[in-house]
C-alpha cells in the first residue's frame, strides 16, 4: 500500500475528468553497469540494482523515466528494460537509442510507456563531457483529434565545484540549440545538474535566457544557495549516504537533481500542464539534513522496502512530476468556482477552515509545505457547508499552502502563515 503522498496524486488525478495524467521521473543510477571509481561488482552490483530499481519503479509508476550514469554499453540499457521495467506482467516499456556523440563512458537514457507515447525522434547536443539528449514524443490521447507533443531533454552536467563555467557552457549549448530551432511547446529538462547555487551560470542560462519564449521554470520555485543549507532540506536530492566506498558521502545536503518545465507546461497553454504540488524528491522527508536516508528519525515518507531500495540504488534521490494532458489543462487557474473557503490566518495552534458550496460536491482539502509536500489531506462530501480543524502545534513556523479542489478540477489555493 502506498503512503498518502504519492497516493494523493493518484486520487486527485481522478478528479480531472476527461484528462489523462502522466508521470515523469528522473534518476541518477550511480554508475549502472560501470565498475570503476571505487564502484565494484560487490558494492554496486547490477543484479542487486535491478531489484532496487524495480522496487522504486513499482512504487512510483512513472510513464517516462529519464536516467543519468548508465554504462555506454547497450547491453545495460536493455537490461533495465527486461529486469526492472518490463516485469511482473508489464511489457509496454521501451527505450530510445541515444548516439553518445561525446563518447562518454556514462550516458543518459529515456524509457517510456508505449501505451501512452509514440517516439517521434531524438537528437543529441555534444558537449565537452556528456551529450544533452532531446526526445520528442507524441501522446496517445483518444479524446483529442490534434496531436499533442512532449519534448524531454535530459543532461548530466559536469560535476564538482570549480566547474561552474563548464556547466554554464553546457546549459547554454542547450538554450542556443532551442533558440536556433525556434523551439516552442511542451518541454521538460531533467537531469543531474551538479549545481550548488541558483547563481551559477547554468541555472541563470536556463531560467533567464535572453529569449523569454524558451526559458525553463523551476516548478517549486525554490531558488537559492542549496549546498549545505538546511533551509532547503526538503528539496535536497544528494547524498543518500554519509559515507561509502562507491556512493558519495556527506549526507543529504545538495539539490543536484531537477525537472524544469517550459512556460507552456507551467501555464497549460498547449494541452499539457503541471499538476500543482506534484513535484517531489521521492524519499525526501526534510528531516535528514547532513544525514543518510536511513538515519534517525525514521523516514516514513515511503514504505520501508522503497526506502531501503533508494538508499542502496544510488547516492541520489529520484525526482518526479505529474503532467495533466487534455484540452482544458488551464483548470489550475480556474477562479470561477462555486465554493468558498474561510480560514484564520495567521495560524497559531489550530487552523479552522469553513467550506461553503453552492451545490453538493466532493472536495479534497490539502495542507502542504512550500515544497509541495503533503501535511494534511481530507476528502469531503459537502452539500452546504462544513468546518475542518487541523492542529498545527507540530509544524515549523513559516508559510504553508492551503488548497481546496472539487471533483470538476476547480482549485483555490491560499498561503497561510503558521506561528507559535
Q: What is the distance in angstroms between the CA of the first residue and the CA of the last residue of the chain? A: 35
Separation of alpha carbons 198 and 202, rounded Å:
8
DSSP label of 371: T
* pLDDT band, residue 209 (cuts 50/70/90): very high
What's the pLDDT score for residue 141?
67
Least confident of 139-143, 231-235, 379-383: 139-143
Provide the H-helix boundaries in 3-133: 4-15, 46-60, 74-80
**Going from the N-terminus, what domains does the chain have, and what CATH number goes with each?**
4-330 (3.60.10.10), 334-419 (2.60.40.1930)
Average pLDDT, the chain: 89
- Strand, helix or coil at 339? strand
Q: Per the structure block, which three cell numbers stand in for 10?
A: 493518484
* pLDDT band, residue 146 (cuts 50/70/90): confident
* pLDDT band, residue 36 (cuts 50/70/90): confident
Q: Per the structure block, which three cell numbers stand in for 167?
A: 556547466
Highest mean pLDDT among 205-219, 377-391, 402-416: 205-219
Q: Confirm if 53 and 84 have CB atoms less than 8 A apart.
A: yes
Separation of alpha carbons 239 and 254, rounded Å:
7
Least confident of 77-86, 180-189, 358-367: 358-367
* pLDDT band, residue 371 (cuts 50/70/90): low
Residue in 208, 238, 232, 326 with CA at minimum distance from that of residue 26: 238
Mean pLDDT of all residues in 353-373: 84
Mean pLDDT of all residues in 312-321: 98
Q: What is the pLDDT of residues 256-309, one digit of tens each?
A: 999 999 999 998 999 999 988 889 999 999 999 999 999 999 998 999 999 999
Consecutive H or E run containing 173: helix 164-181
pTM value is: 0.79
Q: Per the structure block, which three cell numbers stand in for 244?
A: 561509502
* pLDDT band, residue 346 (cuts 50/70/90): confident
In percent, the amount of the chain with pLDDT more than 90 equals: 74
Q: Which residue has the higher pLDDT, 324 or 13?
A: 324
Q: Which residue has the cell 554504462?
A: 71
* pLDDT band, residue 9 (cuts 50/70/90): very low
What's the pLDDT score for residue 132?
98
pLDDT at 14 over 60: no
CA 349 distance to own-chain centroid: 32
Contacts of 276 (CB under 8 A, 6+ apart): 332, 372, 403, 411, 413
- Strand, helix or coil at 126? coil
DSSP label of 144: -
Mean pLDDT of all residues in 372-401: 86
**Burial of 161 by CB count in 10 Å (0-12 exposed, 13-18 middle, 19+ buried)?**
exposed
Mean pLDDT of all residues in 34-54: 95
What's the pLDDT score for residue 56?
98
Separation of alpha carbons 193 and 225, rounded Å:
14
Contacts of 67 (CB under 8 A, 6+ apart): 26, 27, 28, 29, 32, 80, 108, 109, 110, 111, 154
Residues of 37-75 as b/e, b for ≥16 C-beta within 10 angstroms?
eebeeeebebeebbebbbbbbbbbebbbbbbbbbbeeee
Q: Confirm if 155 and 135 have CB atoms less than 8 A apart.
A: no
Q: Confirm if 56 and 306 have CB atoms less than 8 A apart.
A: yes
pLDDT at 99 over 70: yes
* pLDDT band, residue 334 (cuts 50/70/90): very low
Mean pLDDT of all residues in 96-120: 97
Residue by residue, DSSP assigns 89-125 as: T---EEE-----TT--SEEEEEEEETTTEEEEEEEEE
Cα R_g (the chain), whole angstroms: 21
What's the pLDDT score for residue 327?
67
Bridge partners, 89 (sequence order)? none
* pLDDT band, residue 107 (cuts 50/70/90): very high
Amino acid at each position: 500500500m502506498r503512503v498518502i503522498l504519492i497516493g494523493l496524486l493518484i486520487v486527485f488525478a481522478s478528479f480531472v475528468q476527461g484528462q489523462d495524467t502522466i508521470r515523469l521521473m528522473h534518476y541518477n543510477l550511480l554508475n549502472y553497469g560501470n565498475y570503476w571509481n571505487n564502484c565494484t561488482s560487490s558494492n554496486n552490483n547490477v543484479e542487486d540494482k535491478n531489484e532496487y530499481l524495480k522496487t522504486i519503479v513499482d512504487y512510483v509508476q512513472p510513464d517516462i523515466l529519464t536516467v543519468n550514469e548508465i554504462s555506454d554499453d547497450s547491453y545495460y540499457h536493455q537490461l533495465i528494460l527486461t529486469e526492472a521495467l518490463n516485469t511482473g506482467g508489464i511489457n509496454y516499456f521501451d527505450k530510445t537509442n541515444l548516439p553518445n556523440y561525446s563518447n562518454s563512458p556514462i550516458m543518459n537514457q529515456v524509457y517510456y510507456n508505449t501505451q501512452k507515447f509514440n517516439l517521434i525522434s531524438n537528437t543529441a547536443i555534444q558537449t565537452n563531457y556528456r551529450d544533452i539528449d532531446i526526445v520528442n514524443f507524441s501522446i496517445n490521447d483518444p479524446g483529442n483529434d490534434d496531436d499533442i507533443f512532449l519534448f524531454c531533454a535530459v543532461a548530466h552536467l559536469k560535476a564538482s565545484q570549480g566547474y561552474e563555467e563548464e556547466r554554464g557552457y553546457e546549459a547554454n549549448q542547450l538554450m542556443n540549440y532551442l533558440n536556433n530551432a525556434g523551439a516552442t511547446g511542451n518541454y521538460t529538462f531533467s537531469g543531474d545538474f551538479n549545481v550548488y547555487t541558483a547563481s551559477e551560470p547554468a541555472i541563470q542560462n536556463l531560467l533567464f535566457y535572453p529569449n523569454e519564449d524558451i526559458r525553463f521554470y523551476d516548478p517549486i520555485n525554490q531558488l537559492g544557495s542549496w549546498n549545505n543549507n538546511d533551509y532547503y532540506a526538503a528539496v535536497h536530492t544528494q547524498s543518500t549516504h554519509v559515507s561509502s566506498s562507491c556512493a558519495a558521502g556527506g549526507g543529504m545536503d545538495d539539490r543536484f537533481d531537477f525537472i524544469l518545465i517550459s512556460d507552456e507546461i507551467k501555464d497549460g497553454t498547449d494541452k499539457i500542464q503541471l499538476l500543482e504540488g506534484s513535484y517531489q524528491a521521492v524519499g525526501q522527508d526534510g528531516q535528514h539534513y547532513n544525514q543518510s536516508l536511513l538515519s534517525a528519525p525514521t523516514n516514513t515518507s515511503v514504505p520501508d522496502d522503497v526506502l531501503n531500495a533508494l538508499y542502496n540504488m544510488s547516492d541520489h534521490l529520484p525526482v518526479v512530476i505529474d503532467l495533466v494532458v487534455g484540452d482544458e489543462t488551464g483548470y489550475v487557474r480556474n477562479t470561477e468556482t462555486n465554493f468558498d473557503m474561510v480560514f484564520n490566518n495567521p495560524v497559531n495552534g489550530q487552523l479552522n477552515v469553513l467550506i461553503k458550496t453552492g451545490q453538493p460536491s466532493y472536495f479534497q482539502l490539502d495542507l502542504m509545505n512550500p515544497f509541495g509536500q503533503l501535511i494534511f489531506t481530507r476528502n469531503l462530501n459537502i452539500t452546504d457547508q462544513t468546518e475542518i480543524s487541523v492542529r498545527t502545534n507540530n509544524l515549523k513556523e513559516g508559510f504553508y499552502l492551503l488548497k481546496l479542489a472539487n471533483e470538476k478540477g476547480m482549485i483555490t489555493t491560499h498561503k497561510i502563515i503558521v506561528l507559535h
